[in-house]
Amino acid sequence: MLKNKVVVVTGAGGGIGRDFALAMAVHGAKVVVNDIGASVAGEGKDAGPAQKVVEEIKAQGGAAVANTDSVAEWESANRIVKTAIDAFGRIDVVVNNAGILRDRFFFNMSVEEWKAVIDVHLNGTFYVSRAAAPYFKSQNSGRYINMTSTSGLIGNFGQANYAAAKLGIAALSKSMAMDMARYQVTSNCIAPFAWSRMIGTIPAETPEQQARVEKLKRMQTAKIAPLAVYLASDTSQEVSGQIFAVRANELFLMSQNRPLRSVHRAEGWTAQTIAEQAIPAMRAQFYALDRSQDVFSWDPI
C-alpha cells in the first residue's frame, strides 16, 4: 500500500513508533526512524534504539535511515524532515508519535514539567508538521498522522500537561486538515490503547490498579499499526480531520465537540435566572469527571 512512499516516524525507537516504522516498511515505504533515545521522562540521549529499528527494517529487505534530532525544537525538527529529503529525495507521510511523560497532580506540577511535555508533544507535532508542509504543498499530496490520547479526549488523573498537549494535538490536526485540504493533504489522529514503555509508568499498587495494568498488557502495540498504514496510504484520501482510537481488535471513531443542549430567554439572562433555570435545564447533559477507564470500562476484544 505504500510502495515508494517516504515516511517519517518520530519516536520510532520502540513501542508503538517502532511498530509503525516496521509496518510502513513491510508495505513498501522508505522510513526515517527518528528517536533521540531518551528515557520516558525525556532524559538522556542514545542513538542505539533508532539504529536498531533501521537494522530490523533492512534485514527484512526494506530501506530506512536513522535520525536522532529532537522534535521539541524548530531547527532540529527541520533536520528530521531534511533527513528524508537527503536520503530519499522526498517526504510523503509524517507520523507524529514522539512523546514523554512527566506525570504529577496538577497542584504539584512544576513549570518545567509542564513545559517539557508541551514542548515534545504539542510543539513537536507542530514543528515537524510545519517543516514538512512546503514539500507537501509543492507535490500536492501528503499525510499527517498525529497521536492523541484519551487522557486528553476524556480525562485522567495526574496528567494535566500530557492531557492538555494531547487535546491540543487533536485541535491542531483538525486545523492542519482544513488548511491543507486544497493541496490534497490529509491529517488525522490516533488515540492508542496499548502496553508500552510510557504506559508502563502507571502505578500498580492497589488491586484495582493491578487489574487495569493486566488489562492493558493484553493490548499489543502492533495492533495500532494497520490503521496508521491505511491513513498513510492513497486509499485514505477522503479521510481527513478525524480522530480514531484503537483498542486491541476494536476501532473507534471518536466524537468531536458540538453543541449538546441549549436554552434561551427572550429577555436575556441574569446570573440568578441562569442559576434557577438554565443550569437545571442543562444539568442532565453534564459530563461526569470520567477517566478514560470509566468510559472504556469493558475488557478489550
Cα separation of 198 and 40, whole Å?
6
Question: 147 with 94: CB under 8 angstroms?
Answer: no
Q: Cα Rg for the chain, rounded, in angstroms?
A: 20
Pairing of strands 30-34, 6-9: parallel
235, amino acid identity: T
Question: 5 with 230: CB under 8 angstroms?
Answer: no
Helices marked H in 220-263 — which ranges? 225-232
CA 12-244-247 angle, to 5 degrees, is 75
From the candidates 127, 135, 144, 162, give the one annotated as an active-site residue: 162
Cα separation of 255 and 177, whole Å?
16
Question: Does residue 183 have an active-site annotation?
Answer: no
Kindly state the cell numbers that stand for 49. 534504539
Cα separation of 80 and 129, whole Å?
11
Among all residues, which ones are annotated catalytic?
162
